[in-house]
Structure 1
Amino acid sequence: MHRVGFLLSDGFQVMALATQSVFEYANATVGDIAANAAEAGTPEAGTLRRAPPFYKLENFSVEGGEVRSSLGMTVGTRPLSARRDIHTWIVAGVNDPLASPAPAELLAFLRKASGRARRIAGICTGGFVLAEAGLLAQRRATTHWAFARAMQQRFPGIHVEDDRIYIVDGPIWTSAGMTAGLDLALAMVEKDLGAEVARSVAHKLVMHQRRSGGQSQHSEMLDLAPKSDRIQDALNYARQHLSRSLSVEELAGTAHLSPRQFSRVFTLETGKSPAKAIEGLRLEAARLMIEQSRHSLDVIARETGFRDRRHMREAFMRGFGLPPQAVRRDARSAG
């Protein structure tokens, strides 16, 4: 049995508990496999029928008792002194990790646990607790995009990558914010029980897309956030026609403005020039195709509006600091 301990503190994000459903349905999936094997009469059926659930989940806090979430909901926890042999520790995040340091007892515990547990994870801003404990020093890590810069400034020894869904660096796992914790938990299930079980869990949880750790946690459309419908309509048009050259004149026509007016209003509302924003949309679309499809880089460059493969590579180096081949390699190794 693989024991998973969730470390909660007052003000924890309820979303962290949603990851427990991933392990719950992994247990159910293993049970289904056992039942199917028993029905089929396979040689291992007897063993599978007697096998207990793979995961055992428990909630812990420093002192135990009820812990209040940021929403006000309380959850019962066991004290760290009552812990058993835990294989995976998962630290839940809080809304503001900069408000106060983690308890010294918790940090000391995590330092000791790092030498015993199979892995330790920080969901969302839970990564700050791992950082305070010194577990992220000289490691790659991620966190919620809104706090990535603060993590890098406060802990310069960490290689913070603010554009990742989750990162696995040896026995230390960190995830971006909110729903990215589900992806991290699903990756743990895949590592423990295999890709077939992970796919089944994702299907049961209606996770239409099982995201790899290398995927971006940003959305260019959300970042631009125009204030008027006409600029939003122009962006929607651009995203639907990325394979075209998309001149300012063409985009201005969709917004019913002159090219000069359009450029001025667009920059005022989004903080970027039309050319820079369109390149961001092209990069986002190209990256998604690289991570999720097997199309060649030449085809992807053409479909997303880059002049050619070389032009796309130059844009990737500017935008992400790495070439398209590296993005594909990272996505495949993480998936």
Structure 2
Amino acid sequence: MRTVLVVLFDDVQSLDVTGPVEVFHGAETASPGTYDIRTATLDGAPVRTSSGLTLVPDLALRDLAGGPAPHTLLVPGGQGTRRPAPELVAWLREHGPRARRLVSVCTGAILLAEAGLLDGRRATTHWAYCDKLARDHPEIEVDPDPIYVRDGRVSTSAGVTSGIDLALALVEEDLGRDTALTIARHLVVFLRRPGNQAQFSAQLAAQTAQRDPLREVQQWIIEHPEDDLSIESLAARARLSPRHFARAFQAETGTTPGRYVDRVRLERARRLLEDSADGVEEISRACGYGTPEAMRRAFAKALGTAPAEYRRRFRPVPADRTP
């Protein structure tokens, strides 16, 4: 039996709590006796979430002193983390190191950081607060890109729904892939988002450029990843010199044209591996890699796996399979 203790506080984000809890509850339903899920506030009193819901905890954190440490201590995020209660931070500083596994969702990472539990570790949080986390806690290696990061016994995740992805990964670690797949199907989500998936897709990034010519070029890249996407070709499409185009593109999107092209091609290849029966060679041509070897190198660099292994692991279960 693994105890999952979820810390609650005023102005917590309700989905940061209920998303992971539903995953662990699903695992307990599928394999009874595997998880004991508890929620707790400092004094045992109900709290009001940022959306106005009232959550009634099972117990008080203050009453846990001297008791057995939880297997998984989960700290959600929400508006309440922007003004952390010193007593809650002190409790986490004292009791967090005792938990076998320490997990944060969204800005829950801020509470872990305030308690010194992320010092010397790699971590992430919601993209809108990564800069603040890095600025306030230079001792933490903040990675703003992935949806979750696992560094030893400590796992941190990005905004809201990424907490579900991380919880599924933890259940898979504990109980195996089949149980995690059963839960994912029941919750009508795909067990397909590895932790190193970016918080922003290329399609979202395409909305950040201010000038129409740059947005049009971004959209062209998304629609034609197999074409010539060299700086010279893209600059001509934007009616700019290559040097001016490269500078303007990075200034307005926060990334270079080459990195944007790499992201688009990788996303397209991943979707085709997940959603089509096309072979690796056909997909590599359709995505602009040219050869399966080039696509393999891109996958190894970005995801740490080969295309064939990625397809085996992250392709959704067929629609006719029932939970």
Task: Kindly provide the CA deviation profile for residues 117-140 of structure 1, in whole angstroms up to 9, marking residues without a partner as x.
Answer: 211111110001111111111111
> Superposed, which structure 2 residues align to 1:108-257 within 5 Å?
108-225=90-207, 235-246=218-229, 247-248=233-234
Query: 2:171 and 2:80 mapped to 1: Cα distance?
Result: 29
Instruction: Please state how far the C-alpha of 1:238 moved relative to its aligned partner.
Output: 2.9
SS at match of 1:63: coil
Task: Kindly provide the CA deviation profile for residues 101-154 of structure 1, in whole angstroms up to 9, marking residues without a partner as x.
Answer: x22322232233234321111111000111111111111111111111111111
Instruction: Please state how far the C-alpha of 1:271 moved relative to its aligned partner.
Output: 5.2
Query: 1:292 and 1:145 mapped to 2: Cα distance?
Result: 27
Q: What amino acid sits opposite 1:192 in the alignment?
A: D
Asked if 1:57 corresponds to 2:37, the answer is yes
> In the alignment, is the contact (CA less than 8 A) between 1:238 and 1:278 conserved in 2?
no
Instruction: Give the direction of change, closer, same or farther, for the CA distance of 1:68–1:281 in structure 2 (3 Å limit).
Output: farther
SS at match of 1:72: coil
> Superposed, which structure 2 residues align to 1:1-335 within 5 Å?
1-16=1-16, 17-30=18-31, 52-77=32-57, 78-83=59-64, 85=68, 86-95=70-79, 97=81, 99-100=82-83, 102-225=84-207, 235-246=218-229, 247-248=233-234, 259=239, 272=252, 276-277=256-257, 279-286=259-266, 289=269, 293=273, 302-305=285-288, 324-329=299-304
Task: Kindly provide the CA deviation profile for residues 43-100 of structure 1, in whole angstroms up to 9, marking residues without a partner as x.
Answer: xxxxxxxxx4422212111122111111111111221023363221110101374x42
Instruction: Please state how far the C-alpha of 1:311 moved relative to its aligned partner.
Output: 9.0
Counterpart position of 1:42:
none
> In the alignment, is the contact (CA less than 8 A) between 2:73 and 2:96 conserved in 1?
no
Instruction: Please state how far the C-alpha of 1:20 moved relative to its aligned partner.
Output: 1.1
SS at match of 1:65: coil
SS at match of 2:135: helix
Task: Kindly provide the CA deviation profile for residues 10-67 of structure 1, in whole angstroms up to 9, marking residues without a partner as x.
Answer: 111111122211112112222xxxxxxxxxxxxxxxxxxxxx4422212111122111
* CA root-mean-square deviation: 3.9
> In the alignment, is the contact (CA less than 8 A) between 2:4 and 2:71 conserved in 1?
yes
SS at match of 1:64: coil
Instruction: Give the direction of change, closer, same or farther, for the CA distance of 1:18–1:311 in structure 2 (3 Å limit).
Output: closer
Query: 1:107 and 1:292 mapped to 2: Cα distance?
Result: 45
> In the alignment, is the contact (CA less than 8 A) between 1:70 and 1:94 conserved in 2?
yes
Query: 2:235 and 2:96 mapped to 1: Cα distance?
Result: 58
TM-score if structure 2 supplies the norm length? 0.76
Counterpart position of 2:318:
none
Q: What amino acid sits opposite 1:73 in the alignment?
A: L
Query: 1:238 and 1:289 mapped to 2: Cα distance?
Result: 14
Counterpart position of 2:317:
none
Instruction: Give the direction of change, closer, same or farther, for the CA distance of 1:329–1:306 in structure 2 (3 Å limit).
Output: closer
Instruction: Please state how far the C-alpha of 1:189 moved relative to its aligned partner.
Output: 0.5
> In the alignment, is the contact (CA less than 8 A) between 1:215 and 1:291 conserved in 2?
no
Instruction: Please state how far the C-alpha of 1:284 moved relative to its aligned partner.
Output: 3.7
SS at match of 2:46: strand
SS at match of 1:19: helix
Query: 1:8 and 1:143 mapped to 2: Cα distance?
Result: 18
Instruction: Please state how far the C-alpha of 1:227 moved relative to its aligned partner.
Output: 6.8
Counterpart position of 2:319:
none
Gaps of 5+ in 2: 315-323
Q: How many residues are aligned here?
A: 296
Instruction: Please state how far the C-alpha of 1:212 moved relative to its aligned partner.
Output: 1.1
Instruction: Give the direction of change, closer, same or farther, for the CA distance of 1:299–1:96 in structure 2 (3 Å limit).
Output: farther
Query: 2:203 and 2:29 mapped to 1: Cα distance?
Result: 38
Query: 1:325 and 1:144 mapped to 2: Cα distance?
Result: 26
Query: 2:30 and 2:122 mapped to 1: Cα distance?
Result: 32
